[in-house]
Amino acid sequence: MVLTNTTTGQFALADVLSVLGMTYADEGRTESLKYRLLAPSPDLGGWGHEYVRHLALEIGTEYEKRSEKDEDVKASKDLKDLALSLIPFFLSHNAEADAVDLLAELEMIEEIPPFLDENTYQRVCLYMVRYSYCSHNSLRYKS
């Protein structure tokens, strides 16, 4: 299905298909992401925490696929913009680990400071310290 005309009804349909893609898509397919990119929305959290987490997973999967195909991952602006739109939701719902993991997976962890405030700063820093420790150890064991 290709949505070439950008009517409100088509955006609404793509929005609903994105949510349905979370439950009805086959393993390894990124249906939620596909339809979400066709119908950008300012309120992704309205569909619930599980949907936002699933969308983040599909963003990471698609980014990895593009990286493996030697596509210019710098050109993955669509994925990066969508990922950045999820960060405020994660931080406001005590899911700092999800925010850090998503940005790290997309190799853009340096984008997190503008999203932090006095309530999230400490938890993000603590998680990043633990994350860097695990990252360091996993790299050491691979060699």
**Residue 14 Cα distances to 3, 21, 33, 59, angstroms:** 8, 10, 10, 17
Of the chain, the percentage scoring pLDDT greater than 70 comes to 85
Nearest to 109 by CA among 89, 137, 92, 132: 132
Nearest to 106 by CA among 68, 80, 132: 80
Residue extents of the structural domains in the chain: 8-142
pLDDT tens digit string along 74-121?
Answer: 668 899 999 999 999 999 999 999 999 999 999 899 999 999 999 899
pLDDT tens digit string along 61-71?
Answer: 999 888 887 76
pTM: predicted TM-score of the whole model, two decimal places? 0.83
